[in-house]
Structure 1
Amino acid sequence: MIAAALTTPFDQADHVDLGGVRALVEHVVGGGVPAVFVAGTNGEFPALDDGERLDVISAALEVAGPARVIAHVGAATTRQAVRLTAEARRRGAERLAVITPYFVPAGPERVVEHFERCAATADGADVYVYVFTALAGTVVPPALLTRIATINGIVGVKVSGAGTDVVRAYTQATPPGFEVWSGNDAELPEVMVAGGTGIVSGNAGALPTLFAQLLAGYTDQPLVQSAVKTVDGSIANLKYLLDLQGLPGGRCRMAIDGPDADRRAALARLLG
């Protein structure tokens, strides 16, 4: 399984381009990727205010429907995450991702409390724990995930910035049926062998057909790995790829430099 982690487009005045959000969702769904992950790291969520994030979620729901949208509602504080969870749920979201508290690393008891409160507020929606230790600072070892997995409404985890060994450890620490998603989109086969559910791929947001073909077994993994290496995890590079395709990419709102000439040429080669 693959979900595409979408970027957030901004217009010339640096406002969120909701028409552009809809176009990106259509691009991904039309390219054969079965789900989208919106307002996450690739969506520059720390640079969005709450209203903007919720409008991005609503725009995605309009195009793809609640079964195909994973809406990120996490925040640095539990208070803000709970508020976003409640409003996203009111707008019709049925699949919610919640990043761990971040910037100041949270201890295990506060992490458990964070997800208990968000899951209770989700009112029956599926909630995914979002672990990104390299950026968030909060550590979720397998034993802690075992505790979190017992919370009613928590159905899975999305782990970014970690290898397949972490996917394997998480699958072993959680009950059958608990979903384990990886942000390592160069390793879909390895993730599946390790017991994972699939990948949440930033690269699929710009190159959905390539990743849909990987899922269907119609393309070689080395081709995907080459694309991942060229993009190099950069939101600005993903946006440049979208620009090349006539799609809403544009400038990042966060302080991310655009690609240099050599990188632009390499990105263009990905499109043939």
Structure 2
Amino acid sequence: MANHDPGTDDPLSIHGVVPPTVTAFHDDESVDYETTAAHARFVVDGGTHGVFPLGTNGEFPLLTPDERKGVVEAVVDEIDGDVPVIAGVGAPSTRETVDHATHAESVGADGLVVVTPYYYPLDHDAYLEHYRRVAEATSLPIYIYHIPSKTGNSIPRTTLDELVEIDSVVGLKDSSKDVPWLAQSIDAHPEMTFLAGSDSLLFTGLEIGCSGMVSAVANVFPELVVDLYEAYDEGDEARARALQSRVYDVRDALKVGGAYMSGVKTALQLRGFDAGPLRSPLRLKDEASAAELEAELEALELL
């Protein structure tokens, strides 16, 4: 048995590469649902094992509730069971999270990614109440999304020990970059699926027991990250390490001249896939940064 199998409680057995797909926009920043769906198809054609619309790369906090529902519908319709679609449904309030969760289930999503509520700090009982109410409202498996740097809420491991007792909670995507927290959580909960949420820790995540990774680099270069996963899965750790090194280089290139997410959409354009602008106040890279990004990706022989 591989040391990075999905959790025994996970009905979807989520593993491998699950990109947090982008939300495409028209030039006026209205949502381009057709291109959003086409991006999900692009990464699946690149070999990925699932898709995760409305993660951080999907700009979910910048969308209206109706737009978010439209994105989930577009991606589910396009992927149509080819790989699991685990839809981001989290919101600051439990009420809105439940609304998104029940909608995602009604349109055929396979699972739910529920980011911890953000902006207001949470205590132990607030976490439990929130996830219990989402679980009671839907029959879909729930993957907790832990990203304290963006939410302001870091789940204590004692709280996680109780969250995993909720029947529908079957996994966790960790973007804390707190390797000891993640390693100890995996060790304590073999029944759970764990996903590495940072491109800086893909190899590390697999080494400590993650079954897969949610990779922004895979939004642009799915083949590269799939190669890394498959090398590791086949026991070729030397090749997996070398590919992680290459992912570091891509990650650094995407960060040229500012935000990582602007790098993702700019690099997609350089690959010939135009997902449009980011929604304000986010923005694409300026010409100088885009040219620098292009030069770095060409040097890596990725374009």
- TM bracket (short chain): over 0.9
Gap runs ≥5 in structure 2: 1-15, 232-238
**1:44/1:254 contact within 8 Å kept:** no
Corresponding residue to 1:178 among 192, 202, 212 = 192
2:215 aligned residue: 201
1:115 partner amino acid: Y
1:221 aligned residue: 244
| Match runs of 1:1-272 below 5 Å | 1-66=16-81, 67-123=83-139, 125-174=140-189, 176-217=190-231, 220-232=243-255, 234-268=260-294, 269-270=296-297, 271-272=302-303
Shift in Å, 1:262: 4.8
Q: In the aligned structure 2, how far is the partner of 1:63 from the partner of 1:163?
A: 35
Gap runs ≥5 in structure 1: none
2:284 partner amino acid: G
Go from structure 1 to structure 2 and tell me whether the alpha carbon gap of 1:148 and 1:139 turns closer, same or farther (over 3 Å shift): same
Shift in Å, 1:258: 2.9
Q: In the aligned structure 2, how far is the partner of 1:241 from the partner of 1:163?
A: 28
**1:7/1:235 contact within 8 Å kept:** no
CA shift digits 1:228-257 (9 cap, x unpaired) = 122236111111011112213221114124
**1:167/1:195 contact within 8 Å kept:** no
Q: In the aligned structure 1, how far is the partner of 2:176 from the partner of 2:280?
A: 19
Q: Secondary structure at the match of 2:58?
A: coil
2:265 partner amino acid: K
Q: Secondary structure at the match of 1:38?
A: coil
2:293 partner amino acid: L
State TM-score, norm by structure 1: 0.93
My pick for the range that moved more, 242-251 or 258-267, is: 258-267
Q: In the aligned structure 1, how far is the partner of 2:183 from the partner of 2:80?
A: 31
How many residues end up aligned between the 2 structures?
A: 270
**2:84/2:110 contact within 8 Å kept:** no
Q: Which has the higher strand share?
A: 1
1:199 partner amino acid: M
Q: In the aligned structure 2, how far is the partner of 1:89 from the partner of 1:120?
A: 13
Shift in Å, 1:260: 4.0
State TM-score, norm by structure 2: 0.84
2:4 aligned residue: none
Q: In the aligned structure 2, how far is the partner of 1:241 from the partner of 1:41?
A: 17
2:6 aligned residue: none
Q: Secondary structure at the match of 2:77?
A: helix
Shift in Å, 1:37: 0.8
Structure 1 residue runs of 4+, over 3 Å off? 260-263
**1:24/1:248 contact within 8 Å kept:** no
CA shift digits 1:139-168 (9 cap, x unpaired) = 201111111000011000111142433320
1:227 partner amino acid: V
CA shift digits 1:105-150 (9 cap, x unpaired) = 1111011100001111122x11011111111011201111111000
Q: In the aligned structure 2, how far is the partner of 1:163 from the partner of 1:101?
A: 19
1:21 partner amino acid: T
Q: In the aligned structure 2, how far is the partner of 1:91 from the partner of 1:249?
A: 24
Q: In the aligned structure 1, how far is the partner of 2:173 from the partner of 2:85?
A: 14
Q: In the aligned structure 2, how far is the partner of 1:128 from the partner of 1:65?
A: 20
1:221 partner amino acid: Q
2:37 partner amino acid: R
**2:141/2:170 contact within 8 Å kept:** yes
Go from structure 1 to structure 2 and tell me whether the alpha carbon gap of 1:216 and 1:262 turns closer, same or farther (over 3 Å shift): farther
Q: In the aligned structure 2, how far is the partner of 1:228 from the partner of 1:195?
A: 23
Shift in Å, 1:47: 0.8
**1:107/1:138 contact within 8 Å kept:** no
1:145 partner amino acid: L
